Chains A and B, each alone.
Chain A
Amino acid sequence: MSVLIFVELDQGSIKKTSQEAIYYGGKVAESLNTGATVLAIGNADEINLQVAGHFGAQKVLHVTESKLSHENSLAYADTLVQAVQQEGSTVIVMAKSGLGDAVAARAAAKLKASVVSGVTSLPDLSNGFKVERSIYTGKAFAIVDIKSDIKILAIKKNALEVVETDQIALVESFAPTLRDSDFAATVTNTEKASSELSLNEADIIVSGGRGMKGPENWDPLLELAHALGAATGCSKPVSDLDWRPHHEHIGQTGIKVAPNLYIACGISGAIQHLAGVNGSKCIVVINKDPEAPFFKAADYGIVGDVFDILPRLTQAVEASK
């Protein structure tokens, strides 16, 4: 009866958000006096999967089926359900992400399970199964009691402080039975910037708004991001105007992020943008307008011109290395 954790791989390694999910699942397993098993789909060296032990898992079920090399939420959900049946799991954990949500949903309908998404706390098991989750795009939280026998939890990034150990997990191969209907859609083309750090995974994000004035002015922002090892994001008008790609668009209608550090450059801080960044631990705002609403949500603020401030920050980062 182990807790099952569905993880996502990035070039053969367990993604950071999935490491957090393993840690969460391990803690729940401890409370329930059971083990934690990871399900990993895709190519990875054994040594990179054993690492799941550092975060609290005892076992990894590894699926190497080549038909699953493309992200396929339908087949992944089928695989997850078979792993759940093998392990007799009643609690399933994954990171909140586009893929996580899709897999959770399909698996929930198969298992007659509830999905609670955006979970921000470990469960309180003293009377029921209560967890806190983020709602209204980070503007509030709710404590819910999960009644269904099988529970699926999608964990919000940065919900827990992960403590690593030097334990390693046992890796076993797992061969699911796949159905043709899981391959209903054919992928005809993938456009992906493979070198880019994903916004979902990044600990630091440097983001630009209309105050950057045009796509040709992005270099100072990219240079600071590079110096910090950060991902880059933008406000909605910036992606609407095609200054930056759509997948960088952060906010209520874009990606919700929860990095340790969010640096907003020339972004006014409209409520719809804030809704996507209010999970960040620390927010820095650089804006030439002292009245910009973003300062109300910021931890550190600089009133100034981005084109003056950004290069100086990059220099300061380089100097401090």
Chain B
Amino acid sequence: MKILVCITNVPDTTAKISFTDNDTRFNKNGVQYIIGPYDDYALARGVELREASGGSLTVLNVGESDSEPQIRKALAIGADEAIRVNAEPTDSYFVASQIAHIASQNKYDLILMGRESLDFNSGVVHGLVGEMLGIPSYSPVMQLDVTEGKAEFAREIDGGKEHLVASLPLVLGCQEPIAEWKIPNMRGIMTARTKPLTVVEPVDVDTMVTLEKYIQPAPKGACKMIPADEAEQLITLLKTEAKVL
């Protein structure tokens, strides 16, 4: 089985978000970058499936050279090779077009990625890629097994879970608990250095959306404390003051 796992390079979940250049650029200063947490789930399950069934696992990132530490980490976790499309990931359509272009040249059986990225939270790249390739896409997938070209998987729906069966190829947006995140071991880190990382230039895509400005939310007002022995007061305040009951 040939597996492609797409990863994003995003600020660590605890990073403080700020902007520079008149609020037109994300301030990378002092921010640590990580593999998108949802992508980490996709990668972990991808590695398990590849170990069970043989074949190959390629990891793909659309990003600039500062993504390479995260790509090397994915190689250390168990990917066999990596491709980086050398471009700033501007919007979902652009990223999906790059992924679809690479995928159309390589006939992957399974394309896995996280359900959404942690920066723009759009949750549409898997669907775009699926449609661009003319193959089905499903998300958010929380369970996945593959036997003889058939995938059995479960996805989260409003208030529950749906189990599905479909033939490969498929594009799946993943989330927990599809697998436990994997931590690279020393051997993985050593071999990652020698695994191939190919850098390719992007294909042209029309600009769909441009960014005008970032905005920081207004700071939160102080919290009104209600003494525990007068807790019942809360209900009155929610009715009369906050007007949410």
Contacts and interface: CB of A to CB of B under 8 A. Distances in A.
Interface stretch (A27-35, A53-61, A210-218, A294-302): A294-302
Contacts of B137: 73-74, 102, 105-106
By secondary structure, the B interface counts as mixed
Contacts of A226: none
By secondary structure, the A interface counts as mixed
B242 A299 contact: yes
A316 B230 CA distance: 11
A261 interface: yes
B219 to A, nearest CB: 10
A64 interface: no
Contacts of B126: 105
Given A185-B164, A300-B242, A109 B128 contact: yes
B159 A187 contact: no
B52 interface: no
Interface string B209-237: 11111111100110111111001101111
Contacts of B165: 185-186, 188
Contacts of B125: 105
Kindly name the residue among A187, A298, A299, A317 whose own CB sees the greatest number of chain B CB atoms within 10 A: A299
Contacts of A137: 118, 121
Interface in A188-234: 188-194, 196, 198-201, 204, 228
B127 A104 contact: yes
Contact of A301 (B221, B225, B239): B225
A181 B170 CA distance: 12
Contacts of A74: 136-137
Nearest to B11: A136
B145 interface: no
B136 A185 contact: yes
A136 B210 contact: no
B124 A297 contact: no
B96 interface: yes
B214 A142 contact: yes
B37 interface: yes
Contacts of A298: 223
Interface string A115-139: 1111000000000001010111111
Interface in A61-87: 71, 73-74, 77
Contacts of A240: 177
Given A101-B124, A143-B212, A302-B226, A181 B136 contact: yes
A204 B238 CA distance: 12
A109 B96 CA distance: 9
A181 B134 CA distance: 9
Nearest to A190: B162
A202 B175 CA distance: 23
Interface of A: 71, 73-74, 77, 97-99, 101-106, 108-110, 112-118, 130, 132, 134-148, 181, 184-194, 196, 198-201, 204, 228, 240, 246-247, 252-253, 256, 260-261, 271-272, 275, 278, 281-282, 284-285, 295-305, 308-309, 312-313, 315-317, 320
21 contacts: A71-B162, A98-B140, A106-B128, A106-B131, A108-B124, A113-B208, A114-B93, A135-B120, A136-B118, A142-B215, A148-B208, A185-B138, A188-B152, A190-B160, A246-B176, A260-B244, A295-B223, A300-B226, A301-B225, A302-B226, A303-B228
Given A135-B119, A300-B242, 7 more contacts: A143-B212, A204-B245, A247-B159, A247-B160, A300-B226, A303-B228, A313-B231
Interface of B: 11, 13-14, 17, 19, 37-38, 91-93, 96, 116, 118-128, 130-132, 134, 136-140, 142, 152, 156-167, 175-177, 206-217, 220-221, 223-228, 231-232, 234-239, 242, 244-245
